[in-house]
């Protein structure tokens, strides 16, 4: 066998290692020529590193899990950054103070009653955070987490009703929607309540798609938990009932309604039981009577002119476009339409209007908008690839426009701070702390309205009453005590300090004028002035009878 050297070892200069040669010299040389030289090995390793990084980044970009994680990270960021810049507003002070009273915090038990106008679920959940001291940031962090949970529920509902891409886009719209971000950054009942309704929507869609009464009962139970968070969430049961009665996809609507309604009643009845067992049923009745007899506080166009811009005109427009599309005239469109219209119709007809009342409609609106952005075909004027690029560009533009609004929400002073639910209250925390540090314990303060009284009481733990509280029991919150004779109260020494604030003055100029007369009559002297920029937002006066 010419040319064969079995078992021989060859050391090749300039090459890596020692090679055993089992075959011919020619085959060995050919294999050795394929081995990189030692001087070239470093270049091979350096080229491999960036390539692997690019592959890893490409996998992240194409991975549904990483995409959703990125949306949730964005949602958490915009809800938590600079979260404690301003102190609590009046509503936040009430709910946090109620939680502190439930926890037995001695600083709050005399100022904030446990039973107020709403169920106790959220104050009970927050109470461990308020056992001692006067914290505020930790309560807002919990609310921000509920806001992120709402984004999660929106994704799950979108994936169940349509597909992953639609659910992801809907979650992105919710993550940067100024309306939801604003409310999620405050200690309000609406954020947790709506988070429960979104998961209820997800389970209801799963029941429609897969069947099984367990999914239906679970959906109803979560809606019952939402009602325990805020009783107005009962309107969402009306949307679900309308869907079951109309949709052809529901085989046994009456039986389904009985199971759904029974599960809601079974869960939400715990709130009524808590009032009865603690002998506060009369208190709850007083709050219900007050809520039902309250007069209108905003114009009929309030939601159109205030809430719609916060949701995003383009988002609302896309949602309306989805409902008009022929391809969405199915059970999916009917379910989302009923879920969105239930709170919109009810609260538009209800005389009392609030900024946060339409939050339950935001998730289905985001889902419908995402559906429109994912399926709009541009009238056939573009190729399939061109239409896909146009849809992606439009989705990016809408998300960017929402992000601009979020920037203003996070880093600007609350423009509507005097309106409940629109933001924190600049200067309130600082004024309350000044009162606690400079006035004699037990000193009474007269404020323009009950909202500022709640803030002063929360941060100072001093008693405060609002001048604007009506003496008519049918026209005031049962938790508030009116000042029947302000002049006599000042002369008797009940109030030595009067608090004027720009936000309450803007809401009630007549009350501000009444306080101005009292300030003049009793030789008031400004002892504290809180500013936001160049504007005086809170002034505390000492009066001398």
Q: What does the radius of gyration of the chain's CA atoms come to, in whole angstroms?
A: 31
CA nearest to 343, candidates 503, 206, 233: 233
Confidence of residue 280 (pLDDT cuts 50, 70, 90): low
- Mean pLDDT across the stretch 13-36? 49
**Per-residue tokens: 307:** 């809430």
- Decide if 147 contacts 79 (C-beta within 8 A): yes
pLDDT reading at 516 higher than 70: yes
Work out the angle at residue 61's Cα, subtended by the Cα atoms of residues 57 and 65, and round it to the nearest 5 degrees.
115
Confidence band for 459, pLDDT divided at 50, 70 and 90: very high
pLDDT band at residue 463, thresholds of 50, 70 and 90?
A: very high
Give CA–CA dist 452/88, Å, rounded.
10
CB 424 within 8 A of CB 85: yes
User: How many other C-beta atoms can be found within 10 angstroms of the C-beta atom of residue 379?
Assistant: 7
Q: CB of 366 within 8 A of CB of 173?
A: yes
Backbone angle region of 401, left / alpha / beta, with phi > 0 → left and psi within -120 to 50 → alpha: alpha
Which three-class secondary structure state does DSSP give residue 74?
A: helix
Which residue reads 């538009």 in tokens?
Answer: 348
CA pair distance 217, 223, nearest whole angstrom: 10
**Token pair of 219 as six digits:** 């959906």
**Contact status, residue 7 vs residue 27, Cβ threshold 8 Å:** no
The label of the residue with tokens 């009970």 reads 124
Q: What is the pLDDT of residues 34-77, one digit of tens each?
A: 555 554 545 444 555 566 666 655 665 566 788 889 999 999 99
pLDDT tens-place string over residues 371-425 = 999 988 766 666 777 777 888 888 999 999 999 988 887 777 664 444 555 667 8
Question: Where do we find the tokens 């993550």?
Answer: 175
Average predicted confidence (pLDDT) for the chain:
84
Q: How many whole angstroms separate alpha carbon 503 and alpha carbon 516?
A: 15
Report the C-alpha gap between 536 and 385 in whole angstroms.
56
User: What pLDDT is attached to residue 13?
Assistant: 47
CA angle 263, 162, 248 (to 5 degrees): 55
The percent of residues in the chain predicted with pLDDT above 70, rounded, is 80
Decide: helix, strand or coil at residue 6. Answer: coil
Q: CA neighbours within 13 Å on the CB side: how many for 286? A: 15
Q: Over range 250-264, report the average pLDDT.
A: 93
Give pLDDT tens digits for 92-131. 999 999 999 999 999 998 888 877 667 788 889 999 999 9
**DSSP 8-class letter at 305:** I
Looking at per-residue pLDDT, the higher value among 3 and 452 belongs to 452
Residues 458, 107: contact at Cβ < 8 Å?
Answer: no
Strand, coil or helix: what is 497? strand
Distances (CA, A) of 264 to 213, 225, 237: 14, 8, 8
The pLDDT, as a whole number, for residue 48 is: 58
Tens of pLDDT, residues 145-187: 999 999 999 999 999 999 999 999 999 999 999 999 999 999 9
Distance of alpha carbon 108 from alpha carbon 460, whole angstroms: 10
Spatial separation of the C-alpha atoms in residues 401 and 87, rounded to whole Å: 28
Cβ atoms of 98 and 454 within 8 Å: the answer is no
In 10 A of CB 445, how many CB atoms? 23
More confident residue, 417 or 287: 287
pLDDT grade, residue 14 (50/70/90)? Answer: very low
- Cβ partners under 8 Å of residue 524, min gap 6: 498, 518, 541, 542, 543
Please state, in angstroms and rounded to a whole number, the distance separating the CA atoms of residues 271 and 233: 13
pLDDT value at residue 419: 54
β-pair type (535-542, 497-501): antiparallel
Say if residues 312 and 178 touch (Cβ distance below 8 Å). Answer: yes
Q: What average pLDDT does range 354-368 have in this prediction? A: 95
- Strand 497-501 and strand 445-447: the pairing is parallel
DSSP SS3 for 86: coil
What mean pLDDT comes out for the span 306-329?
A: 93
User: Which residues have a Cβ under 8 Å from the Cβ of 294 and sit 6 or more positions away?
Assistant: 351, 352, 475
Instruction: Enumerate residues 6+ apart whose C-beta is below 8 A from 545.
Output: 490, 491, 493, 522
C-alpha torsion sign, points 467, 470, 473, 476: negative
Measure the CA–CA gap between 185 and 412, rounded to whole angstroms. Answer: 14
């Amino acid at each position: 066998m010419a040319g064969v050297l079995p078992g021989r070892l060859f050391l090749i200069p300039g090459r890596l290692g020692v090679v055993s040669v089992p075959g011919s010299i020619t085959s060995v040389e050919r294999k050795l020529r394929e081995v990189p030289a030692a001087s070239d090995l470093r270049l091979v390793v350096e080229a491999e590193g960036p390539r692997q990084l690019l592959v890893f980044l490409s996998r992240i970009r194409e991975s549904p899990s990483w995409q959703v994680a990125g949306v949730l990270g964005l949602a958490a960021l915009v809800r938590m950054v600079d979260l404690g810049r301003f102190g609590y507003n009046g509503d936040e002070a009430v709910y946090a103070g109620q939680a502190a009273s439930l926890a037995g915090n001695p600083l709050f038990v005399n100022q904030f009653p446990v039973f107020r106008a709403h169920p106790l679920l959220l104050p009970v959940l927050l109470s461990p955070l308020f056992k001692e001291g006067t914290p505020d940031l930790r309560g807002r962090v919990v609310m921000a987490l509920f806001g992120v949970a709402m984004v999660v529920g929106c994704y799950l509902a979108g994936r169940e009703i349509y597909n992953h891409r639609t659910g992801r886009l809907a979650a992105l719209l919710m993550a940067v929607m100024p309306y939801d971000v604003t409310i999620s950054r405050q200690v309000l009942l609406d954020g947790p309540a709506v988070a429960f309704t979104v998961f209820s929507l997800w389970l209801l869609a799963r029941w429609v798609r897969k069947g099984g009464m367990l999914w239906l009962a679970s959906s109803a139970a979560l809606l019952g938990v939402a009602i325990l968070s805020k009783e107005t969430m009962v309107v969402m049961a009306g949307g679900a009932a309308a869907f079951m009665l109309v949709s052809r996809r529901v085989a046994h609507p009456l039986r389904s309604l009985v199971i759904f309604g029974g599960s809601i009643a079974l869960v939400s009845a715990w709130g009524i039981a808590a009032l009865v067992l603690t002998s506060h049923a009369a208190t709850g009745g007083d709050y219900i009577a007050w809520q039902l007899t309250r007069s209108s506080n905003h114009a009929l166009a309030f939601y159109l002119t205030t809430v719609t811009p916060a949701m995003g005109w383009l988002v609302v427009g896309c949602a309306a476009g989805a409902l008009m599309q022929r391809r969405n005239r199915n059970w999916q469109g009917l379910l989302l339409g009923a879920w969105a219209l239930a709170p919109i119709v009810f609260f538009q007809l209800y005389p009392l209007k609030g900024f946060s009342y339409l939050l339950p409609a935001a998730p289905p609106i985001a889902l419908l908008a995402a559906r429109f952005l994912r399926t709009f075909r541009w009238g056939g004027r573009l190729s399939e690839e061109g239409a896909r690029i146009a849809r992606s560009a439009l989705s990016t533009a809408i998300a960017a426009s929402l992000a601009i609004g979020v920037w203003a929400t996070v880093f600007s002073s609350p423009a509507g701070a005097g309106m409940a639910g629109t933001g924190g209250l600049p200067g309130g925390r600082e004024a309350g702390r000044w009162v606690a540090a400079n006035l004699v314990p037990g000193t009474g303060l007269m404020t323009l309205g009950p909202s500022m009284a709640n803030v002063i009481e929360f941060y100072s733990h001093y008693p405060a009453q609002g001048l604007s509280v009506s003496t008519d029991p049918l026209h005031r919150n049962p938790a508030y005590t009116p000042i029947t004779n302000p002049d006599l109260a000042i002369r008797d020494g009940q109030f030595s300090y009067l608090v004027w604030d720009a936000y309450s003055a803007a809401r009630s100029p007549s009350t501000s004028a009444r306080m101005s007369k009292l300030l003049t009559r009793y030789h008031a002297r400004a002892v504290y002035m809180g500013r936001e920029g160049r504007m005086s937002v809170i002034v505390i006066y000492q009066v001398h009878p």
